[in-house]
């Protein structure tokens, strides 16, 4: 099976809970989504917000300015955790940079198409800048979770973003999967239909 086919099948399996099982729909859906990677559970709106924070930080960094942290979240992490968070973002950035560089998808940059594009190394940023970035990310995460609390969206560092679905006395954690969920908690109809 080609990688495209495998990815397509994985997405289809993560999307739907087959109705030929004796288990309730939300148990089946949770089982199908258990192998979704934590990074794939991140809601797109939240990922866009984190990217906007990083873009602002890069602009400040290029000018030599300092970025102020959100003081409520400024001291929640030690330096090692800050470095891990920045390194995690770097991994995603590197994948996107390689995809655009190899595939030629630089249409969102209006400068010379043959100009070499710069790959940023976020580890080179000063620690106060990295701390400000992470504090702003935490604000976005906290606000997003507050906004979706009624939707039963939850988060655990070892599991990722997930829906807490309770039906018929059975409570299940179903991983959030943006391509099919579109920001709305799955229901029996959307999971099986």
Q: What secondary structure does DSSP assign to 49-87, as a single string?
A: HHHHHHHHHHHHHHHT------GGGTTSS-HHHHHHHHH
Give how many domains the chain has, as a whole number. Answer: 1
Between CA 52 and CA 124 the distance in angstroms is: 19
Residue 29 in any domain: the answer is no
Calculated CA dihedral for residues 177, 182, 184, 189, nearest 10 degrees: -80
pLDDT value of residue 122: 94
Report the C-alpha gap between 83 and 81 in whole angstroms.
Answer: 5
- 3-state secondary structure at position 25: helix
Instruction: Classify residue 59: in a domain, yes or no.
Output: yes
Instruction: Decide if 55 is inside a domain.
Output: yes
pLDDT at 118 over 80: no
Determine, yes or no, domain membership for 48.
yes
10: in domain: no
Residue 46 belongs to some domain of the structure = yes
Q: Which domain holds residue 74?
A: 42-163
Per-residue pLDDT at 3 exceeds 50: no
What does pLDDT average to over the chain? 82
Has residue 169 been placed in a domain?
Answer: no
Indicate if the pLDDT at residue 113 is higher than 60: no
pLDDT digits (tens, 9 = 90+) for 41-59: 999 999 999 999 999 999 9
Considering the domain boundaries, does residue 108 fall inside one?
Answer: yes
163-179 per-position pLDDT tens digit: 999 988 899 999 999 88
């Amino acid at each position: 099976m080609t990688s495209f086919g495998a990815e397509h099948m994985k997405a289809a399996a993560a999307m739907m809970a087959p109705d030929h099982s004796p288990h309730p729909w939300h148990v089946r859906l949770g089982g199908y989504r258990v192998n979704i990677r934590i990074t794939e559970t991140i809601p797109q709106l939240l990922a866009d917000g984190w990217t906007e924070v990083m873009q602002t930080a890069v602009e400040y960094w290029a000018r030599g300015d300092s970025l102020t942290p959100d003081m409520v979240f400024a001291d929640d992490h030690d330096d090692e955790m800050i470095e891990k968070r920045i390194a995690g973002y770097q991994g995603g950035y590197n994948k996107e940079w390689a995809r655009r560089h190899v595939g030629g998808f630089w249409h969102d940059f209006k400068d010379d198409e043959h100009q070499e594009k710069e790959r940023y190394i976020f580890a080179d940023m000063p620690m106060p800048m990295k701390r400000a970035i992470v504090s702003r990310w935490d604000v976005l995460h906290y606000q997003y979770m507050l906004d979706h609390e009624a939707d039963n969206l939850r988060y655990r560092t070892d599991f990722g973003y997930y829906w807490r679905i309770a039906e018929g006395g059975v409570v299940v954690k179903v991983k959030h999967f943006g391509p099919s969920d579109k920001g709305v908690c799955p229901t029996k109809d959307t999971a099986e239909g």
